[in-house]
Amino acid sequence: MGIVAGLDSSPDFTRIVVCDTDTGAVLRQGYAPHPVEGRPSDVDPQVWLLSLGEAAGGGLLEGVQAIGVSSQQNAVVPLDAQGNTVRPAMVGGDKRAQVAAADLVDALGGREAWAQAVGSVPQAAQPVTKLRWLAKNEPENALRTAVLLQAHDWLVWQLLGRPVRRTTDRGGASGTGYWSAATGAYRPDLVELALGHQAVLPEVIGPSDAAGTTPEGLLISAGTGETMAAAFGLGIGLGDAVVSLGASGSVMAVHPEALTDQSGMITSLADATGMHLPVVTTLNAVRALRGAAELLGLPDLESLSELAMKSTPGAHGLVLLPYLEGERTPNLPHTAGTLAGLRRESMKPEHLARAAFEGMLCGLADALDVLRGRGVDVRRIFLLGPAAELPAVQASAPSLFGAQVVVPQPADYTAIGAARQAAWALGVSQGTLDPRTPPAWQGAAAQVLEPGEELAVGQAVRQQYTAVREQTHPGAFRP
């Protein structure tokens, strides 16, 4: 029995799981917060190493043969020609880069030009946009920048002792805004457009390739971004989609080819297996529930769910378009939410609570339709996030989504995905695994919900929602 480790360096903490190479069973785990307060826009990458060292303490990695590294996406680490950081890493969904994103869209000739070039339209969080911000606001630092790494690239490079060769994977590269999942190649001209000059980019290696081996003999796999690692840890494949319920929402699915979308609704990412991972994002998900709970004077989402269950599907005609922060799907950045269908009989707290849940889920069902409209097969939907456990979500999601819904038990899927990648690279290096076929680990323990007889009811609720959306924002949504 061999053992491998997976490392998840998130924006707030480092988590490490040690797994059985053959089954994926978690044998032990470590955790440490990053030694920074809050979520700053600039972070010294050394804090990731400090956190990693603490999480791996107490002999956690003893006997481990290989390790995979996943990390927060969109974190750019600019290095000078000597390999030193030019400035702290630029992390997260940094709103200061919104103007830079608009600049870049215009500079290349519009949204469609970007979608054709790299499968995504620049957003404030993306590395390419942060480079544009750097060039405009810190020109001296931009000039000193000779090498560009993302968080997982930098961590792998550090663990290997900072070798001359620097690597990344398809998944991480596909989120940069200067690598195309469709062609599998960098667009150095887009780096130059953003930064003002060329920079050295890490070599993109295959899903089962090793980045290298430490002097102690520990094999390190390619690594990947947190989204790709979580998908790999869950074990999703063709026919599967993942709906993530955060303050905002996202829908992603496994697809055999890259999708380009001139509207910018689809971000065309690569996954950690050699397939593709088109993603559609909504700006409003659980924030709509929290807003409804506050409006109704309720202390938490559990209370909102309990109240919503006293209503019936369709909420007596009450419809909430949950566009509280504007919306990205459909593209309505400056709009507000809408509450429609107010009649005397619908003006009850339980109907507003139900409309909040149905509005959130219908917004995500719209995002699913964007993928389905582009030929993506969706037969099974994994529902992630604490809100997935709420009875009001589970009662409505299968019929509104029109598919089987799987609610996995909470687990460290990102770290598990990184460990599975390490097991794959280890097996390939030993000649026991095929480089095209990842290890078959046991799937996530989960609750399975079927639409069943409620399917027709759910579709009627969707039609009610669609009618209000079309009346309020005619033609805004074209899946």
DSSP 121-184: ---TTSHHHHHHHHHHH-HHHHHH--EEEEHHHHHHHHHTTS-S--EEEHHHHTTSSSEETTTT
Structure tokens at 378: 């969706």
Structure confidence at residue 1 (pLDDT): 66
Instruction: Please check whether residue 329 is in contact with residue 367, taking contact to mean a CB–CB distance below 8 angstroms.
Output: yes
Q: Check pLDDT > 80 for residue 262.
A: no
pLDDT digits (tens, 9 = 90+) for 395-408: 999 999 999 999 99
pLDDT digits (tens, 9 = 90+) for 139-149: 999 999 999 99
| Beta pairing class for 66-71 and 3-9 | parallel
pLDDT digits (tens, 9 = 90+) for 149-191: 999 999 999 999 999 999 999 999 999 999 999 999 999 999 9
Q: Check pLDDT > 80 for residue 92.
A: no
Q: What percent of the chain has pLDDT over 90?
A: 90
Q: Per-residue confidence at 445, pLDDT binned at 50, 70, 90?
A: confident
Rounded CA separation 314/355 (Å): 7
Q: Which of 34-43, 441-450, 462-471 has the lowest mean pLDDT?
A: 34-43
Amino acid symbol at 267: T
Q: Check pLDDT > 90 for residue 264.
A: no
Structure confidence at residue 457 (pLDDT): 97
Average pLDDT of the residues of the chain: 95
Q: Per-residue confidence at 479, pLDDT binned at 50, 70, 90?
A: confident
**What single DSSP character describes residue 327?**
B
Rounded CA separation 95/102 (Å): 12
Rounded CA separation 120/259 (Å): 9
Give the closest residue to 223 by CA, choosing from 75, 338, 352, 395.
75
The end-to-end CA distance of the chain, in Å, is 48
For the segment 124-136, the average pLDDT, to the nearest whole number, is 95
Structure confidence at residue 94 (pLDDT): 64
pLDDT digits (tens, 9 = 90+) for 292-339: 999 999 999 999 999 999 999 999 999 999 999 999 899 898 999 999
Structure confidence at residue 93 (pLDDT): 67
Rounded CA separation 154/139 (Å): 23
Q: Which residue has the tokens 């297996």?
A: 273
Q: Which residue has the tokens 């404030």?
A: 124
pLDDT digits (tens, 9 = 90+) for 44-74: 999 999 999 999 999 999 999 999 999 999 9
Give the closest residue to 424 by CA, choosing from 221, 217, 218.
221
For the segment 72-90, the average pLDDT, to the nearest whole number, is 96
